Structure 1
């Protein structure tokens, strides 16, 4: 006759196996998507050029007038120009196809 601990062990009886499974689930639900998003944002930052319409993380819309190593100069309204860190550009505005 088997001891009670062996009889009820089952597939998830090993704590290391359960911990490993938990890590795999966390990787595919949290770590991998965030890494993918960071890679896409880096590609966006590297592709910024003069004339691109962008939106900052603060919600300011503007057109890029100058691109430096770490900053961009964007015209926001009526000739007003603001300088932003490249990392604070949230996305490019895609022109309508209409």
Structure 2
């Protein structure tokens, strides 16, 4: 009889707070945040990096360039990871290929 009263009391008690599991809505929101982050930041940055890498690989002697430091010059020689850049008459410097910001020489179209 004591137990039946206890069971009756527990069956009428309001449900307690849910605990333990993470809501499905949380995972959906985190997925959407990651998708927006990828589309707005990661993907455009990868595209810019690919374009810059392609530009650096196609450098050749005679191209006029601007470095990321603002130095204007003409490429006199191309090595594996460096360029010989003529910035004035009788003034040549060596720079790394990755420091190229802009190529001023328009690319020649192949026929």
TM-score, scaled relative to structure 1: 0.81
Specify every segment of 5 or more residues in structure 1 that has no aligned partner in the other structure, as ranges.
1-12
Name the counterpart of 1:9. none
Name which of structure 1's ranges 13-22 and 40-49 shifts more when overlaid on structure 2: 13-22
Shift of 1:79: 2.2
Q: Say which of 79, 82, 86 aligns to 2:93.
A: 82
Matches within 5 A, 1:1-98: 14-94=25-105
Query: Secondary structure of 1:82's partner?
Result: strand
Name which of structure 1's ranges 59-68 and 76-85 shifts more when overlaid on structure 2: 76-85
Moved over 6 A (4+): none
For 2:77 and 2:101, locate their aligned partners in 1 and report how far apart those are by CA, in whole Å: 17
TM-score, scaled relative to structure 2: 0.72
Shift of 1:84: 0.2
Report the RMSD for the aligned CA atoms in angstroms. 1.2
Specify every segment of 5 or more residues in structure 2 that has no aligned partner in the other structure, as ranges.
1-23, 107-111
Bigger radius of gyration, 1 or 2?
A: 2
Query: Secondary structure of 1:58's partner?
Result: coil
Deviations 1:33-73 (A, max 9, x none): 00000000000110000000001000000000000000000
In the comparison of the two structures, how many residue pairs are matched? 83
